[in-house]
């Protein structure tokens, strides 16, 4: 692996190399193990079935724990990015929802709570004085790929805005985010780079209305209240960044709520802007998918290093399953696919063939030759 050579992370390990570490972590994640002992004893039982992966021995618990404490998590980040660069082209669904969908990027973050005060968490100290730590996963996804294309891991108390500073996006792309990411200088830079952005207006934002655009009866019926051209930023100081934008006010009749969206996209219809922001919910579903299908309630170490390694390996596992899902002709719900892979991970089954047509697959055991089960 070029990533291993780059970080020189195998020099202290005679047997438990980075590859062995990755396979062990993937075993833990697919089987939802919650402790080091579960992982090591489980792999000891299945050791003969792991040889085809190139493992010459099952790891000791102390060796595995030491690697989680010492091996740099950046090597697993590099492995994830390498896999993403190699396979992200097979992920998009050819059935585009809209013309803009293939150009849409979504930014958000999620916080994973920790049982110890390892990384500083946001909020007040509890009454009992015991603070829990937390790690914030800042994420960028391409809407038609549904996997992270860029991830930064920081303590939960870190602010969201630094993640979008200097974020490089292709010309003509669209980026959507919530109102936690307020940075007028970055908005202006994106406008100069011909990158469209869409977000909600913060209630404390100061702006000046320069023009009222006419609302068609059709748009008014769909919930559009107003479509205005504005300039964001106050005029108290000449060095304050001011940004030309568009403000769209929308009434959600289903939830009986008013929303205000700002954007630098002046040609799309106001309904399209609302639809783009609504698509932001996709990243929330991604966070829910990862937290519900993989073991992120318990970590195999109480150090920042171990926590980051487990998160990166979880993202690698999720990416591998998304690649499998995209290559299958049969349509699987993601949670069902994860369950099937977990059940059959340690069986002598042609996994892809099984997932394509599980009803017609049969297992036969040849007792006369004392062979392992083979798939017919």
| Mean pLDDT of each 10-residue bin along the chain, 376 residues long | 78 85 94 92 85 83 92 94 93 75 94 67 49 82 94 88 90 94 93 96 92 93 95 79 94 92 95 96 95 88 90 96 91 91 83 83 48 43
Q: What is the DSSP track for 294-357?
A: S--SS-S-SSHHHHHHHHHHHHHHHHHHHHHHHH-SS---HHHHHHHHHHHTTSS--HHHHHH-
Q: Does 3 reside within a domain? A: no
Q: Note the pLDDT of residue 297.
A: 83
Q: Does 274 reside within a domain? A: no
Q: Note the pLDDT of residue 145.
A: 92
Give pTM, 2 decimals.
0.87
Q: Does 105 reside within a domain? A: no
Q: Note the pLDDT of residue 94.
A: 59
Domain boundary residue, one of 268, 298, 324: 268
Give the range of the structural domain holding residue 373, as residue numbers without chain letter: 346-376
For the chain, the domain total comes to: 2
Q: Does 208 reside within a domain? A: yes
Q: Is-contact 132 113, C-beta < 8 A?
A: yes
- Phi/psi of residue 250, each to 5°? -130, 135
């Amino acid at each position: 692996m070029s990533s291993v050579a780059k970080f020189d992370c195998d020099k202290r390990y005679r047997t438990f190399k980075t590859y062995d570490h990755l396979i062990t972590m993937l075993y833990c994640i697919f089987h939802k193990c919650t402790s080091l002992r579960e992982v090591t004893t489980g792999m000891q039982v299945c050791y003969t079935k792991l040889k085809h992966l190139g493992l010459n021995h099952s790891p000791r618990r102390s060796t595995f724990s030491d690697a989680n404490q010492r091996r740099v998590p950046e090597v697993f980040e590099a492995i994830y990015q390498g896999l993403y660069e190699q396979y992200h082209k097979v992920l998009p669904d050819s059935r585009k929802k809209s013309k803009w969908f293939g150009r849409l990027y979504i930014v958000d973050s999620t916080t994973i709570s920790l049982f110890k005060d390892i990384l500083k968490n946001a909020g007040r100290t509890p009454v009992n004085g015991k603070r829990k730590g937390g790690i914030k996963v800042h994420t960028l996804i391409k809407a038609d790929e549904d996997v992270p294309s860029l991830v930064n891991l920081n303590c939960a108390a870190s602010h969201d805005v630094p993640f979008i500073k200097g974020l490089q996006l292709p010309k003509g792309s669209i980026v959507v985010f919530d109102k936690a990411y307020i940075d007028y200088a970055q908005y202006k830079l994106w406008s100069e780079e011909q990158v469209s952005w869409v977000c909600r207006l913060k209630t404390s934002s100061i702006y000046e209305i320069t023009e009222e655009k006419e609302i068609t009866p059709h748009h008014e019926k769909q919930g559009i209240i107003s479509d205005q051209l504005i300039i964001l930023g106050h005029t108290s100081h000449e060095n304050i960044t001011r940004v030309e934008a568009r403000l769209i006010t929308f009434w959600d009749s289903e939830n009986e709520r008013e929303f205000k969206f700002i954007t630098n996209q002046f040609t799309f219809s106001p309904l399209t802007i609302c639809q783009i922001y609504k698509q932001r919910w996709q990243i929330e579903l991604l966070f829910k998918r990862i937290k519900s299908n993989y073991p992120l309630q318990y970590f195999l170490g109480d150090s920042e290093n171990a926590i980051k390694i487990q998160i990166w390996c979880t993202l690698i596992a999720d990416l591998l399953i998304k690649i499998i899902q995209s290559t299958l002709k049969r349509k699987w719900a993601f949670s069902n696919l994860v369950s099937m892979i977990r059940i059959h991970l340690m069986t002598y089954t042609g996994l892809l063939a099984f997932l394509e047509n599980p009803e017609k697959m049969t297992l036969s055991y040849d007792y006369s030759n004392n062979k392992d089960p083979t798939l017919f």
